[in-house]
Amino acid sequence: MNCIRRSTLALAALTLTTLALPAVAQDAWPNKPVKLVVPFAPGGSTDVIARMLGQKLSVLWGQPVVVENRAGAGGNVGADAVAKAPADGYTLLMASGSITINPALYKKMPFDTKKDLAPITNVTQGPMLVVVQDGSPYKTLKDLIAAAKAKPGAINFASAGVGSQVHLAGENFADAAGVDLQHVPYKGEALGYNDLIAGQVQMMVGNFAAASALLGNNRLRALAVTSKQRMPQMPELPTAHESGLANFENIGWFGLLAPAGTPAAVIQKVHRDTTQVMGETEVKARLYVQGLSPVVNSTADFTRQIDQELVRWAKVVAARKLQAN
């Protein structure tokens, strides 16, 4: 009887140990630095958000989260590097709307957004600002639109690159306003602002986080916000809707993705820990200043959001007759 009991206990212990092995393996991740790829140049909104999140996750994980900027082709260079990286959780992508824009814009994509990348969560989102140089003759959005209509093609706008959400926000604005604007792409949002301040380009529909930090002091002037309601951070700034663009809205978002095939346990941990970080009072306060709100939706909801935006931007690209290559 004792032998049988000992054997039963041993079998139970072995079973429990076996069942615990996956959890132990999962808990071991990460055991080395994690790379967080930003597909745009340093200084833009995607970069700022990635560095804030990366610093917080480094503390939680006890491992460095190394932000790597890989700009080019409207975000395709960096996104492609992640899509082709080992699916082990050690390479992540801080993406923006460009991954839902480029499939319609580029004839030849180096990766498939839906097949080669695994959505984790939409980290944060917020409206954008229509900005001009601080010394610009355009004092209101109506001034800018009137000037663009008077001289079609004479006004150009900067973007973070062909296919970036800043690019399509500009195209979306031109379409809503019924004007012809010339697109000038840069390898990152910050570079576009530099030339806007220098007077090399005339306007930009940029992410609130980056644009708002450059307002005043002979740098930039905001003409309108692209949300449906005015922002509490800038209550004096009218919406584009108030300025004559009925139902115009453009929201910029920033989300985490991993290479397709990344273990579900890793995806879940990244999601869980990102949720914790974005719930911190300090992080919420920093986002508020940048005109952003934490989202951290479920992986399923983020996947649906990406699917919907792929359809939405394909229509805009077709309507504007845009093509990148």
CATH classification of the domain holding 285: 3.40.190.150
Residue-level pLDDT at 27: 58
Partners of residue 133 on adjacent β-strands: 220
Measured between alpha carbons, how far is 127 from 211 in angstroms, rounded to an integer? 11
Residue-level pLDDT at 18: 43
Residue 325 lies in a domain: no
Residue 65 lies in a domain: yes
Residue-level pLDDT at 142: 96
Residue-level pLDDT at 160: 85
**At 220, which CATH number?**
3.40.190.10
Residue-level pLDDT at 141: 97
Residue 311 lies in a domain: yes
| Token duo for residue 324 | 């990148």
Same domain, 169 and 314: no
Residue-level pLDDT at 20: 41
**Domain closes at, from 207, 225, 243:** 225
Q: Which residues neighbour 115 within 8 Å (Cβ) at sequence distance 6 or greater?
A: 260
Same domain, 111 and 132: no
Same domain, 137 and 221: yes
Total domains, the chain = 2
Phi first, then psi: give them for residue 31, nearest 5 degrees.
-115, 15
Residue 144 lies in a domain: yes
- Within the chain, which residues score under 50 in pLDDT? 1-26
Expressed as residue numbers, the domain containing 168 is 127-225
Same domain, 132 and 217: yes
Q: Is 46 helix (H, G, I), strand (E, B) or coil?
A: helix
Same domain, 148 and 64: no
Same domain, 41 and 180: no
Phi first, then psi: give them for residue 237, nearest 5 degrees.
-85, 120
Same domain, 117 and 258: yes
Residue 1 lies in a domain: no
Same domain, 89 and 148: no
**Domain closes at, from 190, 225, 260:** 225
Tens digit of pLDDT for each residue in 221-249? 999 999 999 999 999 999 999 999 988 89
pTM of the model: 0.82
Residue 233 lies in a domain: no
Same domain, 181 and 141: yes
3-state helix, strand, coil in the chain (%, to 5): 45, 20, 35
Residue 58 lies in a domain: yes
Residue-level pLDDT at 32: 97
Same domain, 38 and 115: yes
Residue 14 lies in a domain: no
Same domain, 307 and 280: yes
Same domain, 183 and 196: yes
